[in-house]
Amino acid sequence: MQQDEQFFTDLVKQHKSTIYSVCYMFSTDKDEVEDLFQESLINLWRGLPQFEGRSQMSTWVWRVTLNTCISADRKKRRSATVPLTMDIDLFDQTGEQGAQAQMLRDRIQRLQPFDRAIVLLWLESMSYDEIAAIVGITPKNVGVRLYRIKEQLKQMNN
């Protein structure tokens, strides 16, 4: 068991930024991002014994994290909630680059969870083959979906 814990600790250290980036794209609230991160770690820990090595470890981490965030997003959409507001925006980005990044992030947030996952992976400079392996579709389908997603993003108003 001690060896499993060390392996998991090393795995989290190696893929922490990936896990956090995925969680960040699924929420605008810092506490919710942290909750998604924790839930992803729980699912990774629980799923580790079933990992068969048929894909790279990084692909598996992406897939588990994306599935965790997509599931949480579905649950959140099913239950109506009233967002709490704060006087300070923890995700505020200033300057022109920050405004453009925030506009892109806002548009990506409006996509369906599966499309959001695909565009996130694409923004991480992953190949169509890698994206396909993570989300479970063909590389050709990735290309078609990315084209449609880009068109959809262009058509959105701020």
CB 11 within 8 Å of CB 41: no
Q: Which two tokens stand for residue 121?
A: 């992976």
Provide the total of helices (H) and of strands (E) in the chain, helices listed first. Answer: 7, 0
Torsion of CA 33, 34, 37, 42, to 10 degrees: -140
Name 57's Cβ contacts closer than 8 Å, sequence gap at least 6.
11, 15, 51
Residue 1 has pLDDT above 50, yes or no: no
Residue 34 has pLDDT above 90, yes or no: yes
- CATH code, 92-158: 1.10.10.10
pLDDT tens digit string along 36-84? 999 999 999 999 888 888 888 999 999 999 999 989 888 877 665 444 4
CB 76 within 8 Å of CB 122: no
Say yes or no: domain 1-81 is CATH 3.40.50.880.
no
Domain ranges of the chain: 1-81, 92-158
pLDDT tens digit string along 81-129? 444 443 334 355 566 666 777 788 888 888 888 999 899 898 888 899 9
Greatest distance between any 2 Cα atoms in the chain = 52
pLDDT at 45: 93
pLDDT tens digit string along 144-155? 999 999 888 888
Taking all residues of the chain, what is their mean pLDDT, rounded to a whole number? 83
